[in-house]
Amino acid sequence: MQHGASKLGPTELLSQDHRTIERLLASLEEAARRLQRGERVRAGFFLDAAGFISGFADACHHGKEEGALFPALEAVGFPRSAGPIAVMLHEHDEGRLYTAAMRAAAQKLASGDASAAGAVVENAQGYAGLLRQHIMKEDNVLFQMAQRALDPDTQQKLLQDFERIEHEHAGHESYLALVDALERELQQR
């Protein structure tokens, strides 16, 4: 697996993804604070962050949840239309809306429309706040429930599914490098 941690179970791997996402969130929040204070922040920073969110957090990480974990939980009786799965799916959709709005505003900012800064800040902060709460719920509630509900064979199959999903969304290392680069960019200012 890309994670290089084959002894970890599926929920531990998802939590490991969360730590990477939280690093991006910290950088995104700092960049938004600086922009809100009127400091110069490269519009491309927010476009790069949106690229990470779409490629890593959404396509790969949420892809593992929506394409593998949630169906496995449904198979053992968790409803998709109510309860924790429904909440997580709704929050994934809400995050996609924030990301699209942040990307659109950052594109305007990049083309010279300084009035778009407020929308960049609002959507960056909204996304970060949503995702921090979302991650807390998954790490402390949903993943604990999944560990109890899913038998070892199902968990092993999830690991295989996760590997397939990561392979389909190749570029895991490039997303880690992007998070490193965004952190360095903020440290240099």
Question: What pLDDT shows up at residue 3?
Answer: 46
173-177 long-range contacts, CB within 8 A, separation 24+: 173/2, 175/20, 175/52, 175/55, 175/56, 175/60, 176/20
> pLDDT tens per residue, the chain (189 residues)?
444 445 899 999 999 999 999 999 999 999 999 999 999 999 999 999 999 999 999 999 999 999 999 999 999 999 999 999 999 999 999 999 999 999 999 999 999 999 999 999 999 999 999 999 999 999 999 999 999 999 999 999 999 999 999 888 777 889 999 999 999 999 986
Kindly report the backbone phi and psi dihedral angles of residue 5, in degrees, each rounded to the nearest multiple of 5, phi listed first.
Answer: -135, 65
Per the structure block, which two tokens stand in for 90? 């709704």
**What are the structural domains, with CATH classification, of the chain?**
10-187 (1.20.120.520)
Residue 46, Cβ density class (10 Å: 0-12 exposed, 13-18 middle, ≥19 buried): buried
